[in-house]
Structure 1
Amino acid sequence: MADPARNDSLTNVAEFSVSEISVALKRTVEEAFGHVRVRGEVSGYRGPHASGHCYFSLKDERARIEAVIWRGTFSKLKFLPQEGLEVVATGRLTTYPGSSKYQIVIDSIEPAGAGALMALLEERKRKLAAEGLFAEERKRPLPFMPRVIGVVTSPTGAVIRDIIHRITDRFPVHVVVWPVRVQGETTGEEVAAALTGLNALSPEGGIARPDVIIVARGGGSLEDLWGFNDEAVVRAVAASNIPVISAVGHETDWTLIDLAADRRAPTPTGAAEMAVPVKAELEAGLSRLSARLKGAASRDLERRRQGLRAMARALPSPDQLFALPRRRFDEASGRLVRALQAATQRKRLRHDGLRLSLSMLDRRLAEARRQSIQCGERLPIVFQGVLRNRRARLDRDAARISPYTHLERIRRYHARLADAGERADRAIHARLDKSRTASDQAARLARSLSYEGVLERGFALVRDAEDRPLKHAAELKKGQELRLQFSDGSAGAIATGKPAAPARSKPAAAPKEPGKQGSLF
C-alpha cells in the first residue's frame, strides 16, 4: 500500500515538458556565456552542406564541441576552416533541442596553428614521399576487364554492399572480400595484412587471386580515418604487385593511402565503377563496331565492284584488242607464203645453174691444200718474228732496269715467254690439224660426188666413139660403137636396136572434193 504522504510530496513538484526543459537550457546557456572564443582542432569538416551551412566539431585532448557556420556568415569569412587545423573560433554558445546537444554558432574564425594529428600526418607524408612511395611513375594502370576483384573493408558495413551492388549492375565478376576493422587501433595492421595476403594468393589455389584490390571505408573524421594513415598500410600498398584502388572516406577526405594507391576513388561506389566497365556499354560498343565493320566491308566491296565495272568499261573489247595483232598475223602469213615461194624459186634457179664436175672439185681441193700449206709455211716465220720482237723488247727492258732489283720480274717474263712459245706451238699444230681435217673432208666430198663412186655401186658410164658421155637413149643409133666404163675397167659395145619408148607417166590423181575421203584401192 503506497504512502499517502509521499504521494502528496510528489504532486507538489512542478512538471515540465521536454520542450520547456530544452528552451530553458537554451536560454540559460546563451545568457550565461554569450559570445566566447574557443580554441580547438577542426574535426569532421566536409565543406558547405547543400543548404550552404557548415557543420563540424572543435576538439582538444579531452572534449569536443559541435560547431556550425550559417550560410550568410560562411560567405563573409576571410579564412575557411580545414580538417585537422587548430583554430580560434568566435561565436555564441547555444543548444540544439533536436538532439540535446550544445554547440557554438561561429561568427568568425582564424587559424591557431596545426593540430597534433595534422602535424604528425604532414611529417609522415614528407618522409614517405622522400622514399618515392607517392611517385607517379611507379603507379600502374588498372586492368580493363578484371576477372576477380579483392575488397578490403568491413564485412558488415554499407560500403561492401554498395560495392557489390555496383559491380553486379555494371559487370558481374567474382569478388573476394577480406574482412578488416576500418576504425580503431588495429586498422592499420589488419589492412596491411590483408594486402599482403591477397598478393600471396596463388592463381591455381582454392581462392582466386584478384586482378585489382579495392581498399574502402565510409566517411568520417580525421580520427576515424587515422588507421589508413598508418605507415605499414602505405608501405603495403606501395609493395603490392596487384593494382590498388583507394576508396577511403568521401571526396573531401584524404589519407596517405590515397597518395600511395594506383588510383584514388572519391567514394566506394566510384571505386567499383573504376574497377569494372559497364557490360551493357561494352556489348553496345561491340554491336556498333560490328555494324560499322560490316558496313565498311560492304561499302568497300561495293566501291571495289564499282571500280572494277568502271575499269571494265574503260578496257577495250577482246575483238578490239586482237584486231591489230590479227591483221598483222594475216599480213605476215601472206608475206610468208610469198617469201617461201620466192625462196623456193630462188633456190631452184641456183640449183639448176649449178654445175658440178670433177675438175671443179679438183681445183677447189687444190686451192684449199695450197692455202693450208701457205699458212703452215708462214706460221713458223711469223712466230719467229714475234718471238724475236719479244726477246728484243725484253732485252731492252732488262738493259734499262737493275738486274738485282728486277730479277724476279725478268724471270716472270722468261716464264711467260716460254709459256707463249708452248702455246704458239700448240696453236700451230692445232691449225695444221684443222687444215688437214678440212682437206680430208673436201677429198671425201670430191670422192662422194665423183662418178667413180657411182660406178662402184654397179652403174656404168656410156660413151660414144669420140669419148663423149651419152645421157639419153634417144641419142643412140643402131650399129653405133659404144664404150662402157665400169668401176674396174672399160669394154666396147655396139648398139643392136632402136631404143625403147620411154615409159609413160601415170596420170595425176584427180583432186578430192572437200569433205570426201579418197579410196585406198
Structure 2
Amino acid sequence: MMSLFDTDTASNLVEYSVSELSGSIKRTVEQAFDQVRVRGEISGYRGPHSSGHAYFSLKDDRARIEAVIWKTTMARLKFRPEEGMEVIATGKITTFPGSSKYQIVIESLEPAGAGALMALLEERKRKFAAEGLFEQSVKKALPFMPSVIGVVTSPTGAVIRDILHRISDRFPVHVIVWPVRVQGDGAGNEVAAAITGFNSLTHDGPLPRPDVLIVARGGGSLEDLWCFNDEAVVRAAAGSVIPLISAVGHETDWTLIDYAADRRAPTPTGAAEMAVPVKADLEAQLSALTARLKAAVNRRMSDHAQEVRALARALPSLDQLLALPRRRFDDVATGLARGLQMNTVNKRRTLEQMAGRLRPDMLVNRLTDRRQKLTENALRRERAVERMLARHRHAITGADAALRALPARLSGQVHRAQDRVAGLGRRTDSAILNDVRAKKASYLSHGRMLDSLSYKNVLSRGYALVRDADGHPVKAAAELIAATLVIIEFADGQVGALTSDTLTAQPAAVTSAKKRGAKGTGRADVLKKQGSLF
C-alpha cells in the first residue's frame, strides 16, 4: 500500500512525452559522440540501396552496431565496402527515434590495415584461380605486328604519354585511347566497361577494332591500385577476345588483372615494347633477308644455266634429227609416180567394164519393166478409188435415210412436249385457283375480325361517338367548352349539337333537327350536310 510520502515524491517528477524523451536522448548521444572512430567487420552489406544510401552493420566478437553511409559520402569513398572486410569507420553516433535504435553515420571509411587488404586479395585470388580465370592454357598470343592498339588508361597522366612516345619510336601505328579513372570509387567499373567496349567493336565499323589492348596505370600504394583487383575488371580481362597486356604499377606491384591478362608488362613502357616490334630492326632484318634471297636466286640461276648447257651438249644435231624424215620423204616421192600410173590403169579398166554393161537391149528391157510396173500401179490406184467411192456412197445413203426419219422423230418429240406443256398449264390453273381461294378465305376472315372489332358494333348497342368540329373523337367532357359544335354519331347516322353548361338547355341544332324531323326531313339530308364517315 503506497504511503502519502511516496505519492508526493512521484508527483514531483517531470513528465515527458515519448517524442520529447526520444529527442532528448538523440541530442545527448550526438553531443557526446559527435566524432568517433570505430574498428569492426562489415556484416550484412548488400550494396547501395535504390536511393544510393548503404545500410549494414559493424561487428566484433562481442557487439554489433548499425551503420549507414549516405549517397554523397559513397561517391567520395576510395574503397567500396564489402562483406567481411575489416575497416575503420569515422563518423558520428545518432539515434533513430522511430525504432529506438542508435547507429553510426559514416563519413569516411578505410581498411583496418594492409594485412586486411592482403587477406582479401588472397581470398579473391584463390576464388578466381578456382574458377579457371588464371589458367595459362587459355592465354592468347599477341599479334606480331598490330595495326590498331587500344589503350585503357587515364588521358591526363604520364602513362599515356610514355606509351605513345614508345610506340612512335619503335613502330608507329594507330592508337585508340579509352579514357577512364584509374583510382577511386567507380574506377573498376569504368575499366571493365572500357575492355568490354573495345571487344564489342567490329572490323567494318566506324571505329576500327584494336588488335591488342593495353590496360595501364602508374605506380602507387595497394589502396591506389585496388580498383584493378575488382571482380568486374578481372572477369572483363579474362573474357576479352582481344589479346590484353596488363601494365599496372611498377615491376614489384601485382594486381589480379596481371593474372587474368594474356601478358603482364613490368611498366607501361614495357607494355608498349611488347605490343609492337622495332621498325629499324625489322628493316635491317628485311634487308638481310632480301640480300640472302638475291644471292640464293643468283646461285640457283647459275646452277640452272649449267644444267641447261650440259643437257644441250647431250642433244643430237639438226642434221641427225632430220636424216630419217628426209629418207622417208624421198621414198614416198619415188613411189608417188608409180602409184598414179597404177591408179589410172585401174580406173580405165573399171570404166571399160561399166561401158560393156551399157547395151541398147538392156535399156529397152528396163523401159519395158518400168512401163509394166507403172500400168500395174495405175490399176491398183483405180481400184482403190472405186472402193473409196463405194464407201462414201454407202455413208451418204445411210445419212439420207437418217434425215428422212428425222421428221418422224421430231414430230414425236413435239407431241410429247405439247402434252407436257398442257399438263403444266392445268397444274398452273389449279395452283392459281387454290391460291385465289386461300386469299379469299383469308380476306373474309380478316373482314369478319374487322367487323367484330369495329366501334359500330358498340354504337348498335345504344352508345354514341362524340367528335369535335375537326372530326377528332372527344374522350372527356373537360375537353369541351360551352357553345362548341360537336358531331354525335349513332348507329343509324350523325347529328350536330352545341355544348352547354346546364343539362336543361337544349341546343339549337338539336331543336332544329327535331323540327326538321317532324316536318319529314330524312336522315339523308343530315348526312348530306354533315358528311359521311365512310
Q: What's the TM-score once normalised by structure 2's chain length?
A: 0.39
Q: Which of the two has greater helix per residue?
A: 2
